[in-house]
């Protein structure tokens, strides 16, 4: 996935280890689809995964993949519209789960 010689010369060892750890901890595609299914519906979940893959690769995301991701965007928009307290709670939940991952 990464060309180690190239990356090692540009990143310190700690950063490289964190990248590898995150890559190794990724859930299987099937489990990710199932979990995203709880948020966007199982019929859209595979498209959400594909949209994320495109984004990670820096590619443009086709509109039908964006449409599948839309429920997540709406969820974030609800936090924004609810105000600073809601945004702070969302960030707190995110921090707490990042510690567990």
Q: Are 40 and 66 in contact (CB under 8 A)?
A: no
Residue 94 pLDDT grade (very low, low, confident, very high; cuts 50, 70, 90): very high
Residue 44, SS3 per DSSP:
helix
In whole angstroms, what separates CA 63 from the centre of its chain?
18
The boundaries of the domain holding residue 54 are 4-100
Structure tokens at 81: 């519209």
pTM of the complete model: 0.65
Q: Are 49 and 33 in contact (CB under 8 A)?
A: yes
Q: How many domains does the chain have?
A: 1
Q: State residue 53's pLDDT score.
A: 92
Q: Is the pLDDT of residue 5 over 90?
A: no
Q: State residue 98's pLDDT score.
A: 85
Q: Residues 27-77: pLDDT tens digits?
A: 788 999 999 999 999 999 999 999 999 999 999 999 999 999 999 999 999
């Amino acid at each position: 996935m990464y060309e180690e010689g190239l990356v090692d010369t540009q990143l310190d060892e700690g950063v490289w280890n964190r990248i590898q750890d995150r890559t190794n901890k990724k859930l299987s595609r099937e489990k990710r689809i199932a979990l995203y299914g709880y948020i966007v519906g199982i019929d859209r979940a595979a498209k959400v995964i594909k949209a994320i893959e495109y984004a990670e690769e820096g590619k443009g995301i086709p509109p039908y993949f964006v449409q599948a991701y839309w429920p997540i965007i709406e969820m974030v928009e609800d936090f924004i519209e609810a105000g600073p307290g809601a945004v702070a709670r969302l960030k707190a939940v995110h921090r707490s789960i990042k510690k567990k991952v």
